[in-house]
Every structure is written in C-alpha cells, then in structure tokens.
Chain A
Amino acid sequence: MRTASPPVAVGGGPATLAGGITPRLRWMAAWGWQPALLLAWILLGTPIFGGSDVYPLLVLAGIYGIAVVGVSILAGLGGQITLGHAVFMAMGAYASALSTTRWGLSPVVGILLGITAALTLALLTSPILRLRGWYLAMATIAISFMLQEVIVNLKTFTGGNNGIFGIPPLSVGGLEVTGEPAYFALAWSIVLILLLLGRNITHSRFGRSLTAINKDADSAASVGINPARAKAVLWLVACVPAALAGSVFAHYSLFIAPSDFAFSTSLLLFAAVIVGGERSIFGGLFMVAALVAMSAYVTETFTIDLMEAVAMIVVYLLSPHGLAGIGRALIGRLCGTGRSHA
C-alpha cells in the first residue's frame, strides 16, 4: 500500500518546499550518502583490494564508470536506448593514442581532441535521435559496427586490428600518472565529480524536460519543450564522459585495439545503467563495478556475458526500477513508509 510520505526528497530531488525540522539534514541523509560512499571507496578501495586479482578490474570499472554517467543520463533519464556508446570511448582513446604516439602532442591536448572528435561524431549522428525505442537501439548498434569497420580498415592510421602500441601514461605538466593505484584514484575521482554534475542535471529544468520527453513526449511538447532539440543536446552531453573514459583507458592500458570498443563494451555500459536503475546514476556505477569485477571469476562456461544476462533477468524480476528500485523498496519497507519508489 502506498501512503502519504513525509515531504523529504520528493520525486528524487532536494525539494524542501515545506521546510520541516531540519531540511538540510534530511537532504544530506537522502542525497549525501552516495558521494560519501564513493569518496570512501576512492580512499579505501586500494588498501583493501590492492594487489589482488580483482584490483585491475576495479580500476577498469572506474574507467567504464566515467562513461556510465553519460549513458545513465542518456538512457536512464532521457530514455534514449543506446547500444553503441563505446564508439565515443573509441573517439577519446584513438585521439589520445594518436596524439601522444604519432603527433607528439601532450596527453591533455589528446583528451581535448578526443572530446572534440566525440562531439563531432555526435553532431553527425544526431539525426538518429528522431528514431524511438528499439529503432534507435538498432541505429546505435549499426553505428557501433560501422565505426568498428572504419577503425579496422584505416590500417595506416589506426593500426587496424593490431591497434596502437606504446601509448605513454597520462601526464599533466610534468606530473605523471602511473601505476594502478594512481589510475584507480583518478578514474573514480572523475566518476565522483561526474556523479555530482549528473545529479545536478537530473534536478534541473533541463533534466526535468528530459524526464518529460521520456515519459510522455506529446505532453512535454504541449508545454513548449522541443523534443528534437533537447534530445540532440542530451546526445552531445552524453558523449563527453565516454570520450574522457576512452582517453583514460588508452593511457591506463598503454595499448588499444578496435575490440576494446566493440559492441560488448557498449552492451556492458547499457546493461549497468538498466540493471542499476533507470533514474539512479549511482545504481549504474555500482552495477558496472560489480559486472566488471565479476569478470575476474569468469570461467569458460560462466562468462561475463552470461553474468550480465542473469543479472538483468534476476533484477528485473524483482523490480522494474532495477537495483535502485529494489533498494528503495527495501528502505521503504524498513522505514514503514511503504513508498515503492521516490
């Protein structure tokens, strides 16, 4: 049974219209725990897991996590199914790799070039956002496979299937980022910043207009929201974190190949967001860490793709709002408010 709930964090936002005894404290309880937990993870992840088999995967999860924030806003908040988001990671990775290995540019310039390349690709592909639902999903898959072909075929430029070797580590003005702990801290810190920025988007005029388009496009248009324009802006915004993730990936792994940005990577990003919960960036981050970490225990029969599939089915049977929905339902039951989602 749903009943009236206290005026706290209504609709998932820091709405404190009615005030209350300590609105700020309530806001902290409702919204401060996610960044706090992430900060604790950044500080304690290395001491706890450093040196273990799973640690390199936790670094990798942080890098994918950067891209997940973009996918979460695009697919979770805006409802635009993207099964090709790894193409933007490829843009960042190849721009960084080529800039540092071929053109003698600094990694920072490489990152900026990567973001520019991703934005250009997003602008060129933005007409596909006219498509809805599964048609859009198919189009993003098509772009994913097309770019894969292009990278493989431009052998002299991209190294084809062999990829690009000898990428130097990330460095900013003489300060070099080397070793797994450094990349762990860097990647998850970027994730933390993006989580905060992403949540700011969610609870804003732009974010609400995305929810409106996602839930009822005709109704949204009736109040003056231009769905085509909002979706195009969203597409551009969502590609930037992925490009950044690609650049960090290139500098971390020191070697990139087209297969790093294949369809399975796009699927991982999307599955994390959907299983994590459509309106929860944090849920997506948790899921990507869980899915990537699980691949340490992959066997020939129990593969990562199988785990993704099982996670999707199990979580969806429990709640249509994903992991975040299950969490909220549990908290609701414990607090006795009976609110199934907020």
Chain B
Amino acid sequence: MLETRSLTVEFGGVAALSDVTFSVETGSVVGLIGPNGAGKSTFIGVASGAVLPSQGSVTWHGTELAGKRPDQIARLGVGRTFQHTRLFPGLSALENVMIGGHLAGQSGVFGAMFRTPRWRKDEALLRDAAVEALEAVHGLHLAHRLSEDLPAGQQRLVAVARALVGHPSLLFLDEPAAGLTDAERELLGEDLKRYFAEHDLTVLLVEHNLGFLMSLVSSIVVFDRGGVLAQGAPAQIRSDPAVIEAYLGAGHAAS
C-alpha cells in the first residue's frame, strides 16, 4: 500500500502541499486530479525523490520514500513519467527506453569496453525489454527515430514505455495523454488498460482529460490548493458538490 501521512511541502514559505493524508491500495489504479497548482506534480516529486518534504511521510509497503534519492526510490520498484516528457535528446526512442531498463542490466564499463559475453547478454536483454515496452504502447515504429525529432504526442508514448520497461510495482504517470490527438489518446488508453490488467502494479495517474482518466481508474483522489479535497469511486467524485465547485464545474457534472 502507498500511504501518505501529514505530508507538507513548502517552497520558501509557500505551502505546495499541506497536511496531505491518503492511501492507495496495492494493485489499484488511482486517478489524481485537481486544478493547476493543486500540488499533484509536487506529490509525485516527493514520492519519487525529486522534491524534499518539509514534514510527513510517504511509504510504499512500509518503506519510507520521502527524503530518499530518486535512484534509491527507483531501486524500490517505483517508476515515473514527467509532466514535461523529458526524453534524452541525441538518442533514439529505443535507446531512451533501454535507459529505462537500466536496473535490469548488470554489465559495467569493462564489459562494455571489451564486449564480454555478459555484456552481450545484457544488451540483448535490455533491447528485447525495450522493444516489448514500445510494442505495449504501439510505439515500435518509432524505435529508430531520434527522440527530439518526434512530435510531442509520440514523445509521450516513448516516455511511458521508458517508465514501463523497468517493470515497476508502483508507477506514477504524470499527464501521459497531454498533447496526444484524440485517436492517439484513445489508443494509449486501451494499451494502458491492457497493460495494467496483465501486470501486477499499482498506478497513480495524474490527468486533465477526465474521459481518459475515468476509463482507467477504480478510484480518484482530488487535490485542491495543496490539500486532499475528496477521495472515492469515480461516480462518487462526479457527484461530490465540493469537487464540482472546485474543479469539475457545473457543466461537467451535467454531462
């Protein structure tokens, strides 16, 4: 279980998150929504080691995540994507995804220099895993394109594949469908749904497109101004007056 207790994050006296407490059941896919500046990305930042909390804790299966280095957290089986994609330029999409599988590899600098059997095995393993991850998001045709040459939507797909390739047990997806066309978004939704069904993982999904979000999640947490406004099943959230006022708007509730 992912448990967040009294989490407070302050940036120079301004609280980005204040006294946030909620939990995510193991194996569930949970949506995290809220207006811009509600603290969604800040929360993912704390849980993935990019942001240091002022107070409180975020634990995954009882292990404290808050305050650890990002690479230490990744070693615990926690993967993430970024709101601003952040692929590695100069490398192909495939190589970007192969970097995502870093922890599955073992070969070091000597293996690389002298192309040892272990290095070959490693490289084949990383390549196969990357191909599989790209296939899972219908992105294999992008494999040999330079990441910076890809349109924004396709960069998103590669970023998602980069997060999936390491087979995380806990996955943070920060707006994976932003910048995608309607058709691309629909396809990604189907791909993720299938992937989540086939793999044993817990997901926290931040997304502004509610149709996309609702099709994937079993429950939703709503943030507003750095605090938890509501948590519950999608239908419950849709009809919550406080949520409607703060975020969804009356028009959305009617539809």
Contact = CB atoms under 8 A, between A and B. Distances in A.
A114 interface: no
B144 A201 contact: no
Interface string B139-178: 0000111100100000000000010001000000000000
B70 to A, nearest CB: 4
Interface stretch (B17-25, B107-115, B224-232, B242-250): B107-115
B94 A225 contact: no
Contacts of A18: 143-144
Contacts of B69: 221, 226
A324 B35 CA distance: 46
B131 to A, nearest CB: 7
Contact of A2 (B50, B91, B95, B149): B149
B119 interface: yes
B179 interface: no
**Most chain B CB inside 10 Å of its own CB: which residue of A18, A200, A204, A207:** A204
Given A11-B146, A204-B107, A205-B123, A224 B95 contact: no
A212 B99 contact: yes
Could you say which of A10, A12, A219, A279 has the most chain B C-beta atoms within 10 Å of its C-beta?
Answer: A219
A313 interface: no
Nearest to B109: A206
Contacts of B71: 221, 224-227
A205 B107 contact: yes
Given A208-B98, A221-B70, A342-B146, A11 B90 contact: yes
A224 B102 contact: yes
Given A17-B143, A207-B112, A223 B107 contact: no
B241 interface: no
Contacts of A216: 86, 88
B234 interface: no
Most B-side CB within 10 Å, residue of A7, A209, A215, A279: A215
A225 to B, nearest CB: 5
Contacts of B123: 204-205
B189 interface: no
A222 B144 contact: no
A224 B94 contact: no
Given A4-B145, A205-B122, A224-B166, 8 more contacts: A7-B144, A10-B94, A11-B91, A11-B146, A200-B114, A204-B112, A220-B88, A221-B70
Interface of A: 2, 4-5, 7, 10-13, 15, 17-18, 197, 200-201, 204-209, 211-212, 215-216, 218-227, 233, 237, 279, 339, 341-342
Interface of B: 48-50, 69-71, 74-75, 79-80, 82, 86-92, 94-95, 98-103, 105, 107-109, 111-115, 119, 122-123, 126-127, 131, 143-146, 149, 162, 166
